[in-house]
A and B are shown apart, each in its own frame.
Chain A
């Protein structure tokens, strides 16, 4: 009997574990180590953050789902990886630290035959002074919608701003990225337009100045270098459409910005031209930069070998080309295909946890040498598809031996469908429905835009909102492993 341990029960890890268990049956063991007791459909946190959904609508308890599936669930943080075992044993293992109520901090060693790292991002608030609390958590100057609890808090703060606006006090809202190296601009984009939509509904829009700040060098970059769509007989850049939406909804913008410091009611930022500025706010939601979750890896003799498994940013090394060099040399083929660690063939990384070979957007920095560019996004669909491909590979290795053919899911060969909410409402909501193909542009195959414009499109409207709402229910249904769950695509 082989044992697969999946570290992280988010979008990617949950996909890996549930498919692996389905394919392996009771002949082999699947263990999930994840610190949260509840699964969170993260995209709908946006609606929690504006009071249009409650926390209970976006989370559900993991334990009964894993029990039903026959998955061994450990509510814990994985902290160490020992891929060569220890003195006297070649069996690799990880160290976990319980987060279960009443057992907090209790450590345990868990042996594995195969290990999948799907631990997503560490929300690195402390990378920007004042954004974090100095202890790794969010500070008190801004809010976030990255977790369901953050979103609940954001909504409470937002409601206070709306109350002040109702009393005739002008309020300034700032939404965007809290550092020059952030990703996940899409989430901030959704939040700013949902706030704007709710403000109109609440009759306080005229009392709010709403401003966007981001590290993108142009609006609509989204960390993917933007995209080109065919509209009205033209192939046009997402820049034009993003700018149009911001202008229509009276949301001004600051772009090419590295937020360098956050204080109560004020941020300091540096622009790509090297100039430094300040911006005041009454309410700010700034996405933190992402890093790997900070694993340590040790060799048999106890020596630190973290740098063998992980890139300096803490994400796990996989089969990517990490020495591609300058932007001019970047190729679609630099991107990983199997997500297998190059040193240990029984270790994989899925979703945000893998180290990308380089950015997707053009790298930029200010004359002072401050890098200001979005890091590559790995949204829900790629995270799910990669998780499933990794599950396939591990199952084949377990059943057919280590030389089994590995399944491939390169982000340079897969597309992504993304629906970005711009306001919730069954009859008056809107969302930008987009597809890109492929996610990572391939300029050799598609010279010019890097993507196939027949399969890359975007449009905003009520239909997009309906799709976003249906996806919310569909993905929670799938994650709960209800009848037919395997038929719902990632």
Chain B
């Protein structure tokens, strides 16, 4: 069984939500992808910060 699918059975709560698969989880700590996301998130945050001051 795929690792992410195991947790669905652990609780009724878990069964009714979504759980990321291997690829989505790997991307969260993939350094190259996360470097790109770092730039994107910073830009988004700076826009919100500048709208708030």
Contacts and interface: CB of A to CB of B under 8 A. Distances in A.
Interface centre among A240, A250, A459, A461, by most B CB within 10 Å? A461
B32 to A, nearest CB: 11
Contact of B17 (A247, A433, A437): A247
A244 B13 contact: no
B44 A244 contact: no
B35 A463 contact: yes
A427 B52 contact: no
Interface residues of B, number: 32
Contact of B41 (A246, A427, A463): A463
Interface in B16-35: 16-20, 25, 27-31, 34-35
A252 B13 contact: yes
Contact of A457 (B16, B29, B44): B44
Interface string B35-53: 1011001101101110111
B3 to A, nearest CB: 10
A416 B20 CA distance: 27
Nearest to B11: A252
A441 to B, nearest CB: 15
Interface residues of A, number: 33
A106 B25 CA distance: 57
A152 interface: no
Interface in A433-462: 433, 435, 437, 455, 457, 459-462
Interface in A358-408: 381, 385
Nearest to B17: A243
B13 A246 contact: yes
Given A247-B13, A250-B10, A462 B45 contact: no
B38 A466 contact: yes
B18 A467 contact: no
Contacts of A463: 34-35, 37-38, 41
The 3 closest A-B pairs by CB, nearest first: A247-B14, A414-B52, A463-B38
Interface of B: 4, 7-8, 10-11, 13-14, 16-20, 25, 27-31, 34-35, 37-38, 41-42, 44-45, 47-49, 51-53
Interface of A: 240, 243-244, 246-248, 250, 252-253, 381, 385, 414-417, 427-428, 430, 433, 435, 437, 455, 457, 459-464, 466-467, 489-490
Given A246-B13, A246-B14, A246-B17, 9 more contacts: A244-B20, A247-B18, A252-B10, A435-B44, A455-B48, A455-B51, A462-B28, A466-B34, A489-B53
